[in-house]
Structure 1
Amino acid sequence: MRTQVAISGGGPSGLLLSQLLHRKGIDTVVLERKTKDYVLGRIRAGILEVGFVNLMREAGVADRMDKECFAHDGTVISFGETQFNIDFKELTGSNVVVYGQTEVTRDLYEAREAMGGQIVFNTENVTIHGADSDAPHVTYSVDGTDHRIDCDYVAGCDGFHGISRQTIPLSIRKEYEKLYPFGWLGVLSETPPVNDELIYSGSERGFALCSMRNENLSRYYIQCSLSDAPEDWTDDAFWAELKRRIPAEYADKLVTGPSIEKSIAPLRSFVTEPMRWGRLFLCGDAAHIVPPTGAKGLNTAASDIHYLYNGLVQMYETGKSDGIDQYSEKALARIWKAERFSWSTTNLLHRFPDQNAFDLKMQKADVDFLRGNREAQSVFAQNYVGLPY
């Protein structure tokens, strides 16, 4: 088999890249190690930056998103007895939208199928060959049968545990990582959201987040121990703890119900450099991970896709390689800013096991400064709605 761009990973970043390239007449094949149902069953983020929304529109897959999404013009920050709103629209002129990653992926699958694009599911033993040569190829197997794809370029959109990053030799690849001493216990419930805007809440008992997917589907999180398991938490125990961590006015009107999904995610900050090796380009979680505080995970993947898509189009249409040559540098410059925002927001609102009295006073001072300083709120809002590409 021959294609122009082989894409490892059939999640939203790989699908978005394939759709954008298709609309420019560039052929791709997408390899996914799981089934379509498995990919669509993953519960992930639902906050989309301005840049991501614009990419969906450029890809021609924004109709349902534009009809069903919830525009968020701001967010609520609470810390102990302190509570205030940060108005994104007033401070930046922009907003974010709530539209679940599952729905993004569903829209992209439908578009891929409508255009007759090839997605190979249940792939095993995917291996990238000759990435540092002028003739890369990818081998894989399905149901015990071996296959080969010759291509011009390979896009590694296969996540943190994928093979793309591991293809870059350790002598070239450098990794930066911070592991956080807690996780997030998340619950999805068929209940109305407690508030029109997200609530980020820090308390002496730990962090909590009130989010939503639609008017009858809510997503809530609480900071928990890394030693916890989802089955350690009954629904009643979760709701009781959530109420203790959010302002009383929201706790009093919180509608609870049975969880339809419950999971625990550890938190880490991670970046690998470079994001390009020869004709292999890393995108999204294959190259970087952020804590979910600040909703940057899916959005950082989108910025990678923006840079890579434009670089590949430039190469195929004009023969100029500036875009792909500068891909890693441009992508990493924005990634590190997103990493900083996610790291700082995590530090702002979580309880760390080694915090002493001085640390807690500094944390409160940071929140108080954010509450009372318009310029600080403007910086927060700029980061939240998404820095320019």
Structure 2
Amino acid sequence: MKKHLFFLTLIAITLLTGCSKDNGPDNTSPCPVTGIELPESSTQAPVTPGSTITIRGNGFASDCEIWLYAVEAAKTTEGVQAEIENVTSASLSFIAPSVAGLQSVELRQDGGTWRLGELTFPAEKEDLPLEILPKRILHIRVTWIEDMTFVLRYKYDTEGRIIAITKTDQQSDYEDGPFEDEVTNIEYASDRIIVTEPEGSQLIHTLTNGRTTSIVGISNNGSYPSDYTFSYDENGYLAESRWIENPDHEYSAESVYTIIDGRLVRVQEKETSQEWYGGNAIYENDPAQLNNLNIDLFGMSDFIDHADFDKVYLYGTGGKRLKTLPVKIDYGDDGVSTYRYKMDGKYISQIEKCDEDGELSERLEFFYEN
């Protein structure tokens, strides 16, 4: 067994003596980086989009770029620029972009372009629509362990859209009741959605082709909802969002979403974002745990923490629906959340969320119409 592991370690990386020398700024200049080492990849063990890839060598510049081109496509095909996480003279780390198949890796530096080698990504899959289960959720009981319990009751229109959410049956471990019900009302038009929150403030969604592209918060009674903008990728999935504090606009944060085959695998803040915002996360999905209830669970703030997308997924205006649910979300310094699902046939009956120590932190119980 030890010999087998040793052998696997030896082949874990592909060692190259240098990058191609025939495509520098004058087609003759040698590559400025020597001793290139690319990670090993294959169709059996492809690179995971959204993961961090490290290339080692000697001579990387701080302003270098990495581009990927599909090997099977013509060279005139537009490449994909990878987002670089960290670079030193001896190594370069970048986020594997959402590409498929065999990709040529190119370095752009010092005015030239050099081919470093190839990486294999998963084959492109047909993006089939998700089949939504027919029974609607009547209500969800939410329990924050050693904190409070409440029920979210949903009301729908004839098209199955949520038009009211009532937070009721609240019980707190720290405060004495009774608590008043809190009702959120939702109105739909062809070009906008108006969400009126319990205290009277509003969130005005602007819709473009059925997707929310911006949300403007209208204050009321001392409540100041934030503003948001959203953009989408060529496949129709959410690509980026920006949160802006309202009303002073003193703080903002931008998040980039990596979605592969309908699975959310990574959320990353841009460099201009506030460090405390908490938008960085790596998602581990269960391909068998489908996001196929009538309510998109990514639209529930009690299901996913540190996210902006609940604002658009809840009302079905966040582009294509994410297909699978997470079993683990790693927020880095902000901790780890793990998820346990209990099923009643095809339907989720309960979700338990645990903290990084494995302690139960939250429970969601689902109740459906007959």
| TM norm structure 2 | 0.28
**Which structure shows the bigger proportion of residues in helix conformation?**
1
Higher Rg of the two aligned structures: 2
Which has the higher relative contact order, 1 or 2, with Cα contacts under 8 A spaced 6 or more apart?
Answer: 1
**Which structure shows the bigger proportion of residues in strand conformation?**
2
